[in-house]
C-alpha cells in the first residue's frame, strides 16, 4: 500500500531527528563514519518506522523481521534509530565508542539490542542475510530479511557469490538495498572500480532490480511494496543517495567517509540539517 501524506510527514520528522542524533553521537564519539551514516538514514527510517515487524521490548522475538546492516561502519547512524524506536536508552549514545561502552564503531549483536548481525568486515552481510532468509523458509516462518549494502562494498567478490546463491534459492523474502552514494573511502566508486551498469549486473545474477531516489520516501515505500509482491526471486533496491546528506560541508565529499567534529562543527551541522527540513 502506498505511503500516505501523513506517513511521509512522520518519516520526514523521524529522518530529521535521526540525522540530528547521528551528528550529536558523532561529536560524543570523537569520530565516526559520518558520510555513509547520513546517506543511509532514509532507508532505515522507512524500515523501522513503517515496514518492519519488530518488538523492541522483545528484541529476540523469533518471528521478527531481520535487518543486516552489511555496511557496518554506518553504525553511528543506526544506533540512534534503534534507541528512538525503544531498544535502549538514548542516554547510552553519549558513550558511543568509549572504553566500556556496548557501542563499538561497528555494532555487536551480542551487546546492542536490536542488532541482528555483527558486521563491518565488508562483503559478508548479504551472505548472512541470505542464510536468515533461507532459514525462514526451512522453519516455515514468514519473517522477511532486509540487507543494506554500501556501493563501495559491492567491489567485494563475496557480495556477488551471495547474490548468486540468493537467486539460486529463489529467496523472495530477501530484499537488499544498495546505498548508492557513489563514494567509498578511496574516492568515487566509478574511479576506484566502476560498478555501472549496476542494475544490469544484479538482473544478470537473477534478482529483481529497482533504481530509486534513496531520499524520497514515496519512492522508497513504492520499491519496498514492490519487493513484498515479487515472488520467486530476491529484490535489490539501488537507492541513489548523497554521501553526508543534510550536512552541507560533508555532502558528496569522500573526505567525510570518516571524520570527527567538535562542538562548533556540530552546531554548524545541526543548523544545516535544520535548514534542509525547513526548521531553521
User: Distances from the Cα of 203 to the Cαs of 74, 153, 231, in angstroms?
Assistant: 26, 18, 15
What is the per-residue pLDDT across 193-216, written as a single tens digit (0 to 9) for each?
Answer: 999 999 999 999 999 999 999 999
Residue 249: HSE in the Cβ half-sphere, 13 Å Cα cutoff: 12
This prediction's pTM: 0.97
Name, in order, each residue with C-beta under 8 angstroms of 120's C-beta and a sequence gap of 6 or more: 72, 73, 75, 105, 106
Backbone dihedral region of 219: left (phi > 0), alpha (psi from -120 to 50 degrees) or beta? alpha
Q: Please compute the mean of the pLDDT values over residues 97-113 and round it to a whole number.
A: 97
The residue among 175, 150, 152 whose CA lies nearest residue 163 is 175
Which grid cell is 269? 551541522
Which grid cell is 144? 522477511
What is the per-residue pLDDT across 37-94, written as a single tens digit (0 to 9) for each?
Answer: 999 999 999 999 999 999 999 999 999 999 999 999 999 999 999 999 999 999 999 9
Q: Report pLDDT for 158.
A: 98
CA distance 48 to 61: 16
pLDDT above 90 as % of the chain: 99
Q: Is the pLDDT of residue 1 over 90?
A: no
Cis? peptide before 247, omega within 30° of 0 = no
Average pLDDT, the chain: 97
- Domain range list for the chain: 5-276
Q: Is the pLDDT of residue 20 over 90?
A: yes
End-to-end CA distance of the chain: 33
User: Any idea which residue has 500500500 for its cell?
Assistant: 1
Name, in order, each residue with C-beta under 8 angstroms of 168's C-beta and a sequence gap of 6 or more: 206
Helix (H) or strand (E) run with residue 177 in it: strand 174-180
Q: Is the pLDDT of residue 255 over 90?
A: yes
Which grid cell is 38? 547520513
CATH number of 5-276: 3.40.50.970
Name, in order, each residue with C-beta under 8 angstroms of 193's C-beta and a sequence gap of 6 or more: 155
**276, 46 in Cβ contact below 8 A?**
no
Question: 280 falls in which pLDDT band (50, 70, 90)?
Answer: confident
CA distance 94 to 203: 43
Strands 187-188 and 208-213: unpaired
What is the per-residue pLDDT across 150-195, written as a single tens digit (0 to 9) for each?
Answer: 999 999 999 999 999 999 999 999 999 999 999 999 999 999 999 9
The residue among 55, 52, 56 whose CA lies nearest residue 66 is 52
Amino acid at each position: 500500500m502506498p505511503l500516505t501524506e501523513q506517513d511521509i510527514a512522520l518519516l520526514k520528522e523521524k529522518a530529521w531527528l535521526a540525522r540530528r542524533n547521528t551528528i550529536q553521537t558523532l561529536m560524543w564519539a570523537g569520530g565516526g563514519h559520518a558520510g555513509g551514516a547520513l546517506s543511509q538514514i532514509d532507508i532505515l527510517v522507512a524500515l523501522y518506522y513503517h515496514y518492519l515487524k519488530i518488538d523492541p521490548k522483545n528484541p529476540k522475538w523469533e518471528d521478527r523481521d531481520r535487518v543486516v546492516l552489511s555496511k557496518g561502519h554506518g553504525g553511528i547512524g543506526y544506533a540512534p534509530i534503534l534507541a528512538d524506536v525503544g531498544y535502549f536508552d538514548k542516554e547510552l549514545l553519549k558513550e558511543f565508542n568509549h572504553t566500556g561502552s556496548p557501542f563499538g564503531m561497528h555494532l555487536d549483536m551480542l551487546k546492542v539490542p536490536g542488532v541482528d548481525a555483527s558486521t563491518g568486515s565488508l562483503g559478508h552481510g548479504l551472505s548472512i542475510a541470505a542464510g536468515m532468509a533461507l532459514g525462514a523458509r526451512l522453519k516455515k516462518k514468514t519473517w522477511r530479511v532486509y540487507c543494506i549494502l554500501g556501493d563501495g562494498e559491492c567491489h567485494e567478490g563475496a557480495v556477488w557469490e551471495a547474490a548468486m546463491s540468493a537467486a539460486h534459492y529463489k529467496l523472495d523474502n530477501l530484499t537488499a538495498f544498495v546505498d548508492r552514494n557513489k563514494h567509498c573511502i578511496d574516492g568515487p566508486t566509478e574511479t576506484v572500480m566502476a560498478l555501472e551498469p549496476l542494475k544490469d549486473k544484479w538482473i544478470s545474477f537473477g534478482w529483481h532490480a529497482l533504481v530509486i531516489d534513496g531520499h524520497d520516501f514515496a519512492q522508497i515505500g513504492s520499491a519496498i511494496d514492490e519487493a513484498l509482491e515479487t515472488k520467486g526471486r530476491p529484490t535489490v533496491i539501488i537507492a541513489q543517495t548523497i554521501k553526508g546528506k543534510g550536512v552541507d560541508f560533508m555532502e558528496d565529499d569522500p573526505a567525510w567517509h570518516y571524520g570527527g567534529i567538535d562542538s562548533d562543527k556540530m552546531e554548524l551541522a545541526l543548523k544545516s540539517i535544520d535548514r534542509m527540513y525547513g526548521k531553521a
